[in-house]
Amino acid sequence: MTDLPHPPTQIEALLKERIGLDAAAIGPAVIARAVDERRQAVGARDPAAYWNLLHAVPDELQALIEAVVVPETWFFRHREALLALGHFAAHRAFGDGERLLRVLSVPCSTGEEPYSITMALFDAGLPADRFRVDAVDVSARALERARAGLYGSNAFRGVPLDFRDRYFAPAPTGYQLSDKVRAQVRLLQGNLMSPGLLGNEPPYDFVFCRNLLIYFDPATQRQAAQTLQRLTAAHGLIFVGPAEASLLTREGLTSAGVPLAFAFRPAQDAPALAPTSAPPPAPYPRPWQPAAPAAPAASVRQAPPAAAMPAPRATRMPSAGGPAHPPSAAADNPLASISAMADRGELDAATAACQQYLTGHGSSPDGWCLLGVLHDAAGRIADAHAAYRKAVYLDPGHEEALYHLAALLDSEGDAPGAHRLRERAQRHARLSHG
């Protein structure tokens, strides 16, 4: 048998039991292809024979998991979360003495996320002796690639690539990550569905679990959310993907209030991580952030922003996570309210509100750019394209829309087009900032 249109139900059930994977979420055809790939590799004549072999041959289940779990990630994916991490971590590191900050990335795939976390913390001014990153994945093959630290061009998409110059060296087949970054990360094989995962470790200050829960059914999502809270300190933060924010809200977690970072505090009462008057610096101008960050608390050293990031334009609107405004100011800052709505995981409601805003403010490039971000977060790529292009049409120098549009072109394989848009954004930034 060369074609396997539908994998055996018992194999789907086994994968759900072992790694929490919901076949309906990932698509039965994906599992079918992986099963057929492994069946042929081990010489099983049919699915029934492979089912028997799956239990008889050591490590075959792990090999099947490796075939099913296809990593799709890149450095500084959803950069807002990483900048928020740097902001909160800097307040912690420079405000409470010598305590070591601990960060967890699960699943860590081939290493792009934990290494991005490390680079973001270095860029925020944290010295190497003040933090450690644990990175966990079920895939031994992915972990081996992470240990090698060698990445091709596909790992660098859609963001300013200044970090590559700082932390990578060109290699014959790609880019080699620096030892400085690799030394901060401990790579571990583990399964989020295992009750004893990291049971001997103290809770983490920051936990990243992004774009995994969407592949679980509701019961497994609740179980995973409970595990994430167990792994997170009472004062800590959990970062999830855009489509997973509503799940954590339903589980009683509260938003940290950083627009589009999708960061949440555990359900138990916890003190604020840092003063909310200083939102994290943006990677490029955001329509809902202030022209400059508020001054930090006197006892806290201000962390420098990542190098080579364009400064926000003076016309940008205030951040939803920035200084408090009197009630009368809310009507003057609708994009901030929409951004806050998105941060709570209410993507559909935020999108509808943004569209309603644009019916009366159709010439607002900031509004169109925010609509593009919302479509992007929800996976509506064609709609995101159209919104970003509208923003650029209205304001040819709109840096955020140019960078986001470049990210989309990168993800579609149009590297030259993405490069042209980034150069255009940088050119406008130089002109506007002197």
Mean per-residue pLDDT of the chain: 76
pLDDT confidence band for 421 (50 / 70 / 90): confident
Lowest mean pLDDT among 130-139, 159-168, 280-289: 280-289
| Residue spans of beta strands (DSSP E) within 123-262 | 131-137, 150-151, 168-171, 174-177, 185-189, 204-208, 232-239, 254-255
Report the distance separating Cα 291 and Cα 170, nearest Å.
36
- pLDDT tens-digit map of 171-203: 999 999 999 999 999 999 998 888 889 989 999
What's the predicted TM-score (pTM) here?
0.61
Query: Cα angle vertex 195, ends 243, 203, to 5°?
Result: 75
Q: Could you state, in order of their start, the residue ranges of all structural domains in the chain? A: 9-68, 79-265, 327-433
Residue 25 confidence class, pLDDT cut points 50, 70, 90: low
Structure confidence at residue 316 as a pLDDT band (50, 70, 90): very low
> With contact defined as beta carbons under 8 Å apart, do 197 and 191 qualify?
yes
Taking only the tens place, the pLDDT of each residue in 26-85 is 667 777 888 888 888 888 888 888 888 887 776 777 777 767 765 567 898 888 888 889
Fold of 327-433: 1.25.40
| Mean pLDDT of the region 367-383 | 85
Per the model's pLDDT, the better-predicted residue between 268 and 330 turns out to be: 268
pLDDT band for 431, please (50, 70, 90 cuts): low
Task: Identify the pLDDT of residue 329.
Answer: 36
Would you give the distance in Å from CA 316 to the centre of its chain? 24
Quote the tokens at residue 101.
Answer: 């900050």
Q: Which residue has the tokens 């070591």?
A: 100
* Rounded-to-integer distance, Cα 434 and Cα 425, Å: 14
DSSP assignment string, 72-136: ---TTTTHHHHHHHHHHHHHHHHHSTTPPEEEEESS-TTTHHHHHHHHHHHHTT--GGGEEEEEE
Q: Cα separation of 269 and 253, whole Å?
A: 10
Look at residues 152, 153, 142, 154 and name the one whose alpha carbon lies nearest to residue 114. Answer: 142
pLDDT-derived band at 140 (thresholds 50, 70, 90) equals confident
**Token pair of 361 as six digits:** 């403010």
Residue 299 has pLDDT above 70, yes or no: no
Predicted confidence (pLDDT) per residue in 219-256, tens digit? 888 888 999 999 999 999 999 987 788 788 888 888 88
Q: Which fold has domain 79-265?
A: Rossmann fold (3.40.50)
